[in-house]
Amino acid sequence: MGRVTARRRVLRVREGHSSYRPDTLAAEEPMEIRVGGRPLAVTMRTPGDDFDLAVGFLVSEGVLHRAEDVAGIRYCAGATADGGNTYNVVDVALAPGVPAPDLSLERNFYTTSSCGLCGKAGLDAVRTTAAWSVAEDPLRIGTDVLTALPERLRAEQRVFDTTGGLHAAGLFTADGELVCLREDVGRHNAVDKVVGHALRSGLLPLRGSVLMVSGRASFELVQKAVMAGIPLLAAVSAPSSLAADLAADSGLTLVGFLRGASMNVYAGDERVHHAAPEA
């Protein structure tokens, strides 16, 4: 398995004084996702929870919907020229009857840690039909529960404490109980790891749940939430205009700038219990 962190010697300058010292960095390595032995995607990720990442990615692509859709997952032996295993190639075997992804689609599955949407052929290519409707989810949540989530998320970011360089995604219940948290250099990878864990645990669709992310809310993160049946996505930073549009179209509640006692609700505000707005 790859390492989650790496050590480097750095020059540290503080208030005019300099010194050399070791520093801990978040690890970043490529991971190739294969389906039935056929290469499908390459993503830059922090090693760890790789099987969750692979199946979570396939949920967001509409390939997987339940744990029974997966016949097996393995690291590919012989991934290097000398037959060694890099633990950077994961092969997902689909259960009989589960359609394989169409590799002839006009799209580029290469993704980066900064933007999982880069390389998509166009907007229509990512408007994947969801297996479940989040618009029908009866979730209702109080602002007091929402405002407590960022601190709870931050308190569980163990690798961030040593590196300061990882995004986090946390799955919470409507009461604010943490179900699952994953960290990664890519915010979309962190979400895929959460969704993959949920699929492998037989929890999809994630009705009545809240997905909290440490960064901004992009179009792709909204799409991943919708594909997993999550009715509410909250972020500490801003959403994009496309993220807000997709949330409104899908019936997902989108919360941004969730910091301290404040937040902006960009879509689906009927799910959030709040004081009556001022005129």
Q: Work out the number of other CB atoms within 10 angstroms of the CB of residue 31.
A: 23
Query: Is 180 an annotated catalytic residue?
Result: no
Q: Work out the number of other CB atoms within 10 angstroms of the CB of residue 180.
A: 22
> Is the confidence at residue 84, as pLDDT, over 70?
no
- Tokens representing 68 are 């029974």
Rg (alpha carbons) of the chain, rounded to whole number: 19
Phi/psi at 26 (5° precision): -70, 130
The answer to whether 12 and 77 are in contact (CB under 8 A) is no
pLDDT at residue 123, as a whole number: 41
Q: Which amino acid is at 21?
A: R
Query: What is the residue-averaged pLDDT of the chain?
Result: 86
> Is the confidence at residue 120, as pLDDT, over 50?
no
| Planar angle of CA 208, 210, 215, nearest 5 degrees | 165
Contacts 24+ apart (CB under 8 A), 23-29: 24/162, 24/163, 25/163, 25/165, 26/159, 26/163, 26/165, 26/166, 26/185, 27/2, 27/3, 27/185, 28/113, 28/185, 29/2, 29/88
Tell me the pLDDT tens digit for each residue of 182-222: 999 899 999 999 999 999 999 999 999 999 999 899 999 99
> Is the confidence at residue 114, as pLDDT, over 60?
no
Q: What is the pLDDT confidence band of residue 2, given thresholds at 50, 70 and 90?
A: low
Tell me the pLDDT tens digit for each residue of 220-262: 999 999 999 999 999 999 999 999 999 999 999 999 999 999 9
The answer to whether 229 and 134 are in contact (CB under 8 A) is yes
